[in-house]
Amino acid sequence: MSSYVSDVIKAHGSDYVITVKRASFCFGIFAVHGGVIDLGTDTLAREIAGNEHSLYIFNAAASALRVPSTKFDEPDALKLASEVDTVISLHGERNRETEYIMLGGLDEEMKHNAKHYLTRNGYRVLDPREELAGKEQENICNRGRTGRGVQIEISRALRKRMYEDTRAREKFVHVIRSVLT
C-alpha cells in the first residue's frame, strides 16, 4: 500500500471528466467507459476501489467518446495502469434482457477466482464473446505491471438492477472486493 492517496479530477468542458485516485499499487480499478457509455460502471468502480485500491474513471457525457479498450490511450489511464500490478476494468455489455457477467483479460487465475466467487453468490458467468475476451496486450486491462488483468463485462440488465437496488449493488461490490483479497 502506498503511503499517499491523491485524487486528480480533470474536466474537458462538459464532454468528460477524468478521475484518478492513487492508493494501493496492487490493484487499479478502471471504468474507461463511464458516464453515458456504459451506465453504472463508474459507480461500481468507485465502490469497488473504496479507499484501498487505485481508481481511474473516464466519465463521458456522449457515447461518441467511446474508445475501444485496445485503443484507450488517455495519458492518466496509461500512467496509473503502469503503476499498479493488476488492472480490473469494468465494462457494460448491451444485453437488456438477461443478467450475466463475462470475464475477460489475461489473468487466468484471477478470472478463475472471480468466476468461483460470482457463481457461488448466484451470478451467472458466461464465457466472453471473442471481441469481449480482453486477450490483447494493448487492452487497458492488461496494461498493469504484470501484463495480465481482468475485464468484467456486466450485462445492461444486471447493471440496471444494481442501479435500482442498492443491496444488489453492494453484494456485487462485496463479491468483487473479496476476489481482490
Asked if residues 39 and 159 have their Cβ atoms less than 8 Å apart, the reply is: yes
Query: All 3 cell numbers of residue 122?
Result: 448466484
Mean pLDDT computed over 43-64: 93
Does residue 5 surpass a pLDDT of 70? no
- C-alpha 62/C-alpha 82 separation (Å) is 27
Query: All 3 cell numbers of residue 73?
Result: 490511450
Query: All 3 cell numbers of residue 167?
Result: 443491496
Looking at residue 84, the DSSP 8-state letter turns out to be: S
- C-alpha 94/C-alpha 39 separation (Å) is 10
Task: Identify the pLDDT of residue 149.
Answer: 98
In CATH terms, the fold of domain 6-179 is Aminopeptidase (3.40.630)
Query: All 3 cell numbers of residue 151?
Result: 475485464
Residue 7: pLDDT band with limits 50, 70, 90? low
